[in-house]
Amino acid sequence: MKRIEFTITGQGEESLREPGFVENCSELPLAIMRAVEDFLEAHDGELHLPLTIEVRPSTPGPTC
């Protein structure tokens, strides 16, 4: 299991930081999609483009 950290920021300076977990690197796109869905839910569905999505490992060890 790889722990990764997402930071998503919208043009209106809304932001969300949360951890994500993937077994295989091929699961990373789905994990990103879930993080964006969480971002939308946290901001009542409002979306101000462009979105900046930063993904980084949050623990030492193997990464994608």
Q: Enter the tokens of residue 24.
A: 């295989």
pLDDT value for 29:
93
pLDDT value for 13:
77
The H or E element containing residue 31 is helix 28-42
- 14 Cβ contact list (under 8 Å, min separation 6): 39, 43, 46, 48
Question: Residue 62: is its pLDDT beyond 80?
Answer: no
pTM: 0.80
Is residue 63 within 8 A of residue 34, CB to CB? The reply is no
Q: How far is CA 61 from CA 2, 21, 30, in A?
A: 8, 13, 21
The 10s digit of each residue's pLDDT in 16-57 is: 898 888 888 899 999 999 999 998 998 888 888 899 999 888
